[in-house]
Amino acid sequence: MTVGQALRTLGRTTFGNIASRAYLGVVVGCVLAVEAAVHVFGNGDYGFALIWPILLTWPSFFLVEPLLGSVGTAWTPYLVIALAALLQALAIGALVRLVRRLSAP
């Protein structure tokens, strides 16, 4: 398998089914809602607002966060949430692929 084929398979597994796309849409919607709520109603104070996107990406968030937690910039939580969501979407896509393969006659 060449690198191009591997990347195509990885992309198809991550984005190629409705379950993964729906999950990524929910995560993006949650992040946008948190940003809108904080900047419209919260005067820029996040408090516990980022807990919702973190909970949506929960198991993989705590796998990715130790890798990037030491960066210490303001956008680091968003990068961790994005990488964790992509990892979760990959896992969902692999599960969908496995179920399709096992249920095929």
Residues 7-45: pLDDT tens digits?
998 888 899 899 999 999 999 999 999 988 888 887 767
> Of the ranges 10-14, 49-53, 67-71, 80-84, which one carries the lowest mean pLDDT score?
67-71
Mean local confidence (pLDDT), 52-60: 92
- What pLDDT does residue 1 have? 76
CA angle 45, 47, 51 (to 5 degrees): 130
CB of 22 closer than 8 Å to CB of 46: no
Q: Does 72 score more than 80 pLDDT?
A: no
